[in-house]
């Protein structure tokens, strides 16, 4: 640097020339980025445990009309088991109904490996609870909220916003009322809908075929759990919701003049997953 340049710099400093401001120091986040999702899900689980504390650990249960009504068939089913006969006809409801057609009795499914594995997992999770009538349903409340959270996160929502959405959906009146009236299998079916949309989104966005094999397998498992809920009404509504999702994404793709290949990949994956899930 020349002597004239040095002297000009000194003059500027003496004249009080504005200095380049230093960048502000970054504030340390309360929760580190890798742990925010875990903390959000643990918060949801803690809120559910606190809300259902009396049912889980207080020795109380819900007086549910649907569950109480189903007890009227228990004597008939137990007598059939003692005789070594599978009842293919229920004679005491609506002048008689087929067992499988009405889904009152469907027999043991010990051959269904995934079903047995999933049932054992639920038993392990609910081991601390003393209420084996409702505790497994509360697990599905968590699964439902976790699905909402995951869906919002992959749609680029911040962890706090996604957590608020998950808590709002889980503790909505329409959600909570199902366990109080005995619509337990309804909660099983609807809890799988957010994860259905999650894996459909991943099939649409992911191009790596190896990752999409996992996404397809996970989607088939989710749809299988939903079908095994045996709540035909909610499965029907869930598939309608998926249809609306596909229609929206198709219109959005055409408007933006993008390739329809990702959309076709997602639709094709859903069809394959439905076939696999139903076949299981």
How do residues 66-80 score in pLDDT, each as one tens digit?
777 777 778 888 888
Does the structure show a pLDDT above 80 at 262?
Answer: yes
Residue bearing tokens 């498992």: 221
**CA pair distance 223, 215, nearest whole angstrom:** 12
Q: What is the largest CA-CA distance in the chain?
A: 110
**CA pair distance 186, 168, nearest whole angstrom:** 18
Task: Write down the pTM of the prediction.
Answer: 0.83
Residues 6+ apart with CB under 8 A from 262: 204, 205, 253
pLDDT digits (tens, 9 = 90+) for 21-32: 655 555 566 777
Q: Are 134 and 121 in contact (CB under 8 A)?
A: no
Does the structure show a pLDDT above 60 at 10?
Answer: no
- Taking each continuous run of H as one helix and of E as one strand, the counts in the chain are 15, 2
Does the structure show a pLDDT above 60 at 14?
Answer: no
Residue-wise burial string across 106-120, b where 16 or more C-beta atoms lie within 10 A, e elsewhere: eeeeeeeeeeeeeee
């Amino acid at each position: 640097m020349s002597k004239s340049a040095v002297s000009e710099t000194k003059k500027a400093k003496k004249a009080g020339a504005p200095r380049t401001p230093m960048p502000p120091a970054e504030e340390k986040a309360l929760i580190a980025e890798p742990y925010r999702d875990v903390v959000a899900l643990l918060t949801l689980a803690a809120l559910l445990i606190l809300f259902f504390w009396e049912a889980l650990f207080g020795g109380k249960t819900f007086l549910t009309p649907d569950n109480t009504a189903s007890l009227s068939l228990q004597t008939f089913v137990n007598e059939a088991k003692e005789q070594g006969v599978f009842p293919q006809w229920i004679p005491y409801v609506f002048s008689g109904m087929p067992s499988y057609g009405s889904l009152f009795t469907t027999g043991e499914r010990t051959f269904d490996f995934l079903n047995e594995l999933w049932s054992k997992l639920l038993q392990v999770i609910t081991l601390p609870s003393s209420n084996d009538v409702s505790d497994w349903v509360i697990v599905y409340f968590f699964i439902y909220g976790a699905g909402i959270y995951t869906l919002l996160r992959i749609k680029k929502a911040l962890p706090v916003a996604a957590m608020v959405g998950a808590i709002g959906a889980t503790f909505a009146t329409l959600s909570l009322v199902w366990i109080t009236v005995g619509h337990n299998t309804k909660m099983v079916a609807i809890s799988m809908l957010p994860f259905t949309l999650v894996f459909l989104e991943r099939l649409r966005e992911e191009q790596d075929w190896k990752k999409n094999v996992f996404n397809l397998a996970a989607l088939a498992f989710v749809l299988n759990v939903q079908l095994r809920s045996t709540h035909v009404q909610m499965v029907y509504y869930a598939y309608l919701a998926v249809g609306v999702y596909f229609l929206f994404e198709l219109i959005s793709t055409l408007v933006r003049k993008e390739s329809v290949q990702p959309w076709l990949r997602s639709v094709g994956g859903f069809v394959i997953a439905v076939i696999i899930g139903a076949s299981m």
